[in-house]
Structure 1
Amino acid sequence: MEPFALTVALPIFGLIALFCLPSRIANRRAKLVRNLVTTVVGVECLFALSLTVGLAVKGVPSQSIKLIEVWRDLGLNLDVFVDGAASLMLMLVSFVGFVVSRFSIRFLDGERLQGRYFRWLGFTIGAVSLMVVAGNLLLFFLAWVATSFGLHQLLLHYRHRAAAHRAAWTKFAISRFGDALLIGALALTYYAFGTFELTELFSRARDLATSASQVTASHVAIGWLLVLGAVTKSAQFPFHTWLPDTMETPTPVSALMHAGIVNAGGYLIIRMSPLVALAPTAMISLAVIGAFTACFAGVVMMTQTSVKRSLAYSTIAQMGFMMLQCGCGAFSAAMLHILAHSLYKAHAFLGSGSVVSQALATTGAKSPQPSPHLSLAYLLGAAAISAFAYAAVSSAFDVNVVTKPGGVILALVVCLALTTWGWRLLSVGEITTMLLGMTGISGLCLAYTASYLAVSHWLQATTPLFAIPPTPRFVLLAIALAFCALFWLHFVVIRRVRPNWLNSLRVHAANGFYIDTVYRRLLTPLARS
């Protein structure tokens, strides 16, 4: 396994070395730089695939490989940590990075600063990859900061645009706040455990979990700081305002950011889950923040007229749902969510330029709107089909959602999503379409459950091996009611019924409930400076 891991490290450090390449030279040799970056990222993707296959064949649960001993007294080494989570994320990051690099060649062809763009694109992909495979917490943090720095340079690609400056510096300020939280987590971690090495940290955290009396305030504080750091990175309320405003950057950057970089907060929680699980109150708070962010962004998303801003709020909502999964202890479901959402969002952004043409090409005659009573009947029918299909598939795979962490609330959200899709098909009123809808719902339930079990098996050595305290029932009930309210609001909107109160809500939601106005007033002086 060591040759695989060492081979994967080579292209990662090669991409990070682009930091030393002056932009002036990169612009002068733009074709060479873009071909070099695309080739190296492609090689990294192949190596990541080989690593994943090697893990599957040899069945190695986790392994930390020391590359360089940097500081013996501090126990700081340049390590590569290989396990299921790292292999899946590395394959995802390298694949999305390769697609974005290929897309960028034509997207920026002829631009004067494309050499600089590919320099920072390669550096950012390398930094994210290093963060994924980092074997100690300090190296993880350095890669975390490097990722933010590289993204900042990409957001400022069009420096003459005022909106690009404003969004980049808002992101910069929020990221530095998150960095400060992680620095506090690092300091407390070394104070409490005496090491930064992930293998030692996870082993000691699992020992602590078996004896609650040994868990100190420092251990709990570490969990809180990690949670808050993840919240700032993954655009959770109220740190979300920068993401919808980053539309002045090239579209491939948006694809990389929404499909890869913004997932870093979720990966931090999954990676450090043995430590975070020592602070149950922090996990409950994370679940509440994630649920609120998902519902908040879902409401705002429905009012956006811009395709890219709508996708941005969709990302915020999806990151909120991912944080809800992490807060409930459903780390395998969160990893599956990262994989599926990243691939979808990369495709959505890279194809955003043809959305209008595709919509016009697929638009046919509008089906008649069913009567309110018939529409309600279709809704109840779709809900019944979704619930039955999900229960049947779960039973067939011997998955008990009641005993799974957060299983009930996650099953509810899945059924609500399937109900919306099923209602649209049933409302057409054609037998063939109805049968197609029922088959599709069953197929989606089957695909989701099978994928969840596969990822859960792959992450056996990553997630905590000890029991995580369940989320309080009143918290789960409040979250369930919030998602049901969001579902009902969406149902009202898609039925094109517009009561007066909905028009008033639309005005405020279209402006993001004015949260960004506060940030703009606070951070505009920073952007101007």
Structure 2
Amino acid sequence: MAGIFPWLVAAPSLLLLIAGLIPGDWANRHLAVMRQVATSVTAVAASLAALVAIGLAIGTAIDVPLVTVPGLPAFNIGVYFDSLSAIMLILISFIGAIISRYSIRYLDGDHQQGRFLCRILFTLGSVLLLVVSRNLLQFTVAWILSSYSLHQLLTHHRQRPWAIWAARKKFLISRLGDIFLLAALAATYATFGSFDYTEVFAEAVALQEQSATKSVLVSAIGALFVLAAMTKSAQFPFHSWLPDTMEAPTPVSALMHAGIINAGGFLVIRLSPLIVLSPVALSLLAIIGAITALLGGIVMLSQTSVKRSLAFSTIAQMGFMMLQCGLGGFSAALLHIVAHSLYKAHAFLSSGSVLEQAARMQLTQARARTGRAVVATDIVAVGVAAGVLGLTLAGFGISLTEKPGGVVLGFVLLLALTNLLATFFATRLWKLAGLGLALAVTVAVAYFTGFEIIDHLLAATMSRRPIDRSPLDLTVRIVAVTSFVVIFVVQNFIQSFSHLHWVQVFYVHANNGFYLDIPFRRLTGWVYGQPAAVS
């Protein structure tokens, strides 16, 4: 079994990559066969992912070379499979199986459907290869492959000028991320003499203890990896490509938002033993994450397009996830990735029914609209939310002060519970208020249950950031808390003051994303020698 198991771990990505290499013209001519291939291969990949996860639960994590290069051990290819890899492997393969089946009906009648299915399979295979890669070189190859295959999906509708333009902008930002990643790769090999995770992590700790000069170099490497992650996960100021790519077919949007965009967060969590040695890199990540969450959360509220609203929602969620990583809450970040991926895949695949769903949901319309009533409702809600949060923490025996970033993340959860409760309390109906309280308790219990499970699973995988009391850390906390307070205030009070002129002006600017996409839009126009298309 020891000899077979590593190949079983690699099998899902290999099967999808091989199927994705089927020529597009052949797939278009034999569409019925290609549809069967897509559904079968993704189902087998998901089944194998579940099987190897069970195998991991029974056995131990593995770090095995599958293909060796004589005389060049740095270029060996293999699998690194632990609890982090298992969680992501199951998540991506499961969502991929659903998206591939959805694509068959969504693109029914499209003369390029066969080619599209090939590209979906290849993209999924690239992301799964990234997840189980044994070393940084293999990871980088998978990173670039996933970016290339996603570009092919984004340009599926070649007759749409804006789709092509947005794909080009995404292509340029991705190449910038590649530069950061390749620079980090070169610096890592020059410093540690290896690309293998296990060797790099062990050497990083040793070098940090031996030399202040090496410590600075390790910090620089961590910062480069963080910058690469920021481009992949749509962090400010690299975020504008995500909402602009909504011209792509909906299955592509679901795949991006539920899978590919998580690669940046996965990179940070995977390399946490190295990145935690760079407090500056983590602080940068936390501050940028908080700013991104604030930006996405506000702009999302002003969008009139369902898919663009979901895109800015994803930007906000990825910002929060990166904030969690920057604060050292890697378990919370992974839980966020799993929950957000499942939710956002469902949200995109059901986006065509959003108007029908909105017509059935009248609860949010019952929120009080006057300023005083909103304040009174929120005061009651925050008190109840604090009680729910406190009792849940006591029940799980969790102390927020002992968790990296625990106080900040606990405060954000408090605001989320307050928002949930206020929605129900504003109806002034006891039955609905009781339902809201039950939901708040359920959310809190479910969150901390998931957190405890993932924290236990990742205990041997990730490194924990030491509790920091430095001025830099205090600045990070202030920026994070302020960002989410602003989001909370805007979400709850902006409607009460919508008649004011400055609010209407602010709405226009927010609807245009505060024009932060202009630099990359101009860069794209300069590189390709043509102005931006009209969306």
Residue 14 (structure 1) shift: 2.4
CA-CA distance at 1:47 after TM superposition: 1.0
Structure 1, 430-439 or 70-79: larger mean CA deviation: 70-79
SS at match of 1:347: helix
- Structure 1 CA distance, aligned partners of 2:360 and 2:74? 61
* Equivalent-residue separation in structure 1 for 2:262 and 2:499 (angstroms): 35
**TM-score (normalised: structure 1):** 0.95
Summarize the Cα distance change of 1:374–1:212 in structure 2 as closer, same or farther, 3 Å threshold.
farther
Provide the residue aligned with 1:423 in structure 2. 422
Alignment partner of 2:287: what SS?
helix
Give 1:361-510 correspondences, 5 Å limit.
361-363=360-362, 367=366, 369=368, 372-464=371-463, 467=466, 469=468, 472-495=473-496, 497-510=498-511
Return the offset for 1:88: 0.2
Q: Structure 1 residues 216, 353: CA separation in 2 closer, same or farther (over 3 Å shift)?
A: same
Structure 1 Cα separation of the partners of residues 115 and 9 of structure 2: 25
- State which drifts further: 354-363 or 81-90: 354-363
The change in CA–CA distance for 1:280 and 1:41 in structure 2 (over 3 A counts) is same
- Identify if the C-alpha distance between structure 1 residues 398 and 320 changes in structure 2 by more than 3 Å, giving closer, same or farther: same
Q: CA separation of 1:134/1:469 partners in 2, compared to 1, >3 Å: closer, same or farther?
A: farther
Identity %: 44
Q: Please tell me the residue identity of whatever aligns with 2:105.
A: R
Q: CA deviation at 1:374?
A: 3.8
Name the structure 2 match of 1:117.
116
Aligned partner letter, 1:12 = S
1:53 aligned onto 2:54: yes
Instruction: Give the partner amino acid of 2:225.
Output: L
1:17 Cα deviation from its structure 2 partner: 2.4
User: Aligned partners of 1:273 and 1:234: how far apart in 2?
Assistant: 16
Q: Could you give the per-residue CA deviations for residues 216-239 of structure 1, whole angstroms, max 9, x where no partner exists?
A: 332111101000000011011111
Which residue of structure 1 aligns with residue 233 of structure 2? 234
Q: Distance in 2 between matches of 1:39 and 1:350?
A: 20
Call closer, same or farther: CA 1:48–1:526 in 2, change over 3 Å: same
| 1:328-360 deviation line (CA, Å, top 9, x unaligned) | 111000000000000000000000000001112
Q: What TM-score do you get using the length of structure 2 for normalisation?
A: 0.94
Contact 1:4 1:47 in 2 (8 A): no
Residues 38 and 525 of structure 1: CA distance in aligned 2, closer, same or farther (over 3 Å): farther
Question: Does structure 2 conserve the Cα–Cα contact (< 8 Å) formed by 1:90 and 1:129?
Answer: yes
> Quick one: distance in 1 between partners of 2:17 and 2:426?
53
> 1:244 and 2:243 equivalent?
yes
Pairing 1:103–2:102 present: yes
The count of residues paired between Structure 1 and Structure 2 equals 527
Question: What code does the residue aligned with 1:53 have?
Answer: I
Task: Check the 8 A contact 1:81/1:135 in 2, yes or no.
Answer: yes
Q: Deviations over 1:120-158 (max 9, x none)?
A: 110000000000000010000000000000000000001
Could you say which residue in structure 2 is the equivalent of 1:21? 22
Tell me, what secondary structure is at the counterpart of 1:86? helix
* Alpha-carbon contact 2:229-2:264 (below 8 Å) kept: yes
Gap change, CA 1:466 and 1:416, over 3 Å in 2:
closer
Q: Provide the rounded CA distance (Å) in 1 between the counterparts of 2:464 and 2:518.
A: 44
Q: Over aligned residue pairs, what C-alpha RMSD do you find?
A: 1.9
1:185 alignment counterpart: 184
CA contact (8 A) 1:155 1:168 kept: yes
Tell me which moved more, 421-430 or 206-215: 206-215
Unpaired runs of 5+ residues, structure 1, are none
Q: 1:332 to 1:195 in 2, by over 3 A?
A: same
SS at match of 2:452: helix
* Contact 1:304-1:510 at 8 Å conserved across structures: yes
Q: Distance between the aligned counterparts of 2:235 and 2:229, measured in 1? A: 9
Return the offset for 1:370: 6.5
Partner SS for 1:9: helix
* Per-residue Cα deviation, 1:169-220 (whole angstroms, up to 9, x for no partner): 0000000011011111111111111111112112223444556747433211
Residues 188 and 496 (structure 1), Cα distance of their counterparts in 2 relative to 1, 3 Å cut = same
Seen in structure 2, the aligned counterparts of structure 1 residues 466 and 374 have a Cα distance that, compared at 3 Å, is closer
What is the match of residue 260 of structure 1? 259
Equivalences for residues 283-302 of structure 1 within 5 A? 283-302=282-301
- The answer on whether the counterparts of 2:208 and 2:277 sit within 8 Å (CA) in structure 1 is yes
Contact 1:136 1:196 in 2 (8 A): yes
Is the 8 Å Cα contact of residues 169 and 526 (structure 1) preserved in structure 2?
no
2: CA distance between counterparts of 1:326 and 1:366? 35
Superposed displacement of residue 168, structure 1: 0.4
SS of the residue corresponding to residue 243 of structure 2 reads: coil
* Counterparts in 2 of 1:429 and 1:238: CA distance versus 1, 3 Å: same
- Are the structure 2 counterparts of residues 40 and 489 from structure 1 closer, same or farther at C-alpha, using a change threshold of 3 Å? same
Structure 2: segments with no counterpart, 5+ residues: 531-535
Which shifted more, 440-449 or 316-325? Answer: 440-449
Question: What's the CA shift for 1:56?
Answer: 2.1
Distance 1:206 1:55 in 2: 27
Q: Secondary structure at the match of 1:159?
A: coil
Query: Bigger shift: 258-267 or 464-473?
Result: 464-473
SS state at 1:402 partner: helix
The whole-number CA distance in structure 2 between the counterparts of 1:368 and 1:250 is 35
Corresponding residue for residue 173 of structure 1? 172
> What is aligned with 1:70?
69
8 Å CA contact retained: 1:206, 1:464: no
- Relative to structure 1, is the Cα distance of residues 249 and 273 closer, same or farther in structure 2, using a 3 angstrom cutoff? same
Q: Specify whether residues 495 and 445 from structure 1 end up closer, same or farther in structure 2 by C-alpha distance, changes over 3 A only.
A: farther
